[in-house]
Amino acid sequence: MYAHQQPPDAFPRRLLGATGLRVTPVCIGGGPLGSMPALFGYDVSAERGTETALAALTGPFNFLDTAAGYSDGESERRIGAALRRIGGVPEGFVLATKVDRDFGTGDFSGEQMRRSAEGSLERLGLDRLPLVYLHDPEHIGFEQGMAPGGPVEALLDLQHQGVVEHLGVAGGPVELMARYLRTGHFAALITHNRWTLVDHSAGELIDEAVSLGVGVVNAAPFASGILAKGPDRFTKYAYRDADAATLSRIRAMEAACAAHGVPLAAAALQFSLRDPRITSTIVGVSRPERIAETARLASWDVPDQLWEALAPLTAPKESWLH
């Protein structure tokens, strides 16, 4: 049994690249609170999701991330309901969302980006969006994404109109993300599942983002849950069934953590938090009490000897997601 450690009342805020936005090192992820059973394996009721959003908006972290496409907009609806309860976005709080393709037709056009942003404004009850990411552009080619009338042109137009203040790009494949960053249009990056205790795919991407002055947000430090719950309770890695080698590797990590009196989840989260290149780390939550639990994990005392023990357990490069 691990000793409980009380988190500080507040976490320091860091500048997110050149945006001028100041955010806490942990960002609460709004995907699970909208109920995504296909990915996470459980349902979340509307009331529980709204209460979770309320806890996020009034807790120790000032950064909340969602997306138009999460549960067909349900994450944003629940966040919007929480915002109405407290009278709007708290001062100094940063609420970010993402524009999405049409999941029914695959439409990733500029017009779809406008419809997606308009839907977000309506569901959240806002008249402008401080930070909006182009979400999962791996579903179209880079040339299509950058083409006249395409999604990037539409987002730049929304930014020019003042509907969106800052633009980011969020996705998986590291080289594609780098190509978007090199356009100079994006002030923030979300990389997911590619900078964890197991997988270091995003290392060079993060270096390049920092060199360009882009704020880095690292998502899925628990690799969809296995690095929080452990491989005996959850066997999916990055939303897919984990292979035997990955399960063995994570069991070894869990044993090393236990030997040092540290929860695997604390080490997985702090692997990202301790990286000076990363401004904030997204942790998805689906219950109000998870906010305080995340704060405890973020402030857990992790000895240097544990990092030394975990380092050789990282997967070999050929096993990374890239």
Give the pLDDT score at 284.
95
CB 47 within 8 A of CB 85: no
Give the pLDDT score at 34.
83
Q: Per the domain annotation, does 10 fall within a domain? A: no
Q: Per the domain annotation, does 320 fall within a domain? A: no
Residue 320 identity = W
Give the pLDDT score at 7.
39
Q: Per the domain annotation, does 281 fall within a domain? A: yes
CB 186 within 8 A of CB 169: yes
Looking from the CA of 239 toward its CB, the CA atoms found within 13 Å total: 10
Distance CA 245, CA 313 (A): 11
Question: Range of 143's domain?
Answer: 15-313
Distances (CA, A) of 282 to 31, 140, 141, 182, 297: 10, 25, 26, 23, 13
Give the pLDDT score at 37.
62
Give the pLDDT score at 44.
72
**Taking Cα atoms as reference points, which of 44, 92, 99 lies closest to residue 64?**
92
What's CA 2's distance to the chain center, in Å? Answer: 27
Q: Where residue 132 sits, what CATH number does that domain have? A: 3.20.20.100
Q: Per the domain annotation, does 150 fall within a domain? A: yes
Give the pLDDT score at 77.
97
Fill in the DSSP letter of residue 182: T
Q: Per the domain annotation, does 201 fall within a domain? A: yes
Q: Based on the structure, what is the number of domains in the chain?
A: 1
Which regions of the chain are under pLDDT 50? 1-8
Cut 0.85: pTM above it: yes
Q: Per the domain annotation, does 5 fall within a domain? A: no
Buried b (16+ CB within 10 A) or exposed e, 3-34: eeeebeeebebbebbebebebbbbbbbbbbbb
Q: Per the domain annotation, does 142 fall within a domain? A: yes
Distance CA 240, CA 47 (A): 29
CB 77 within 8 A of CB 123: yes
CB 285 within 8 A of CB 34: no
Q: Per the domain annotation, does 54 fall within a domain? A: yes
Give the pLDDT score at 43.
79
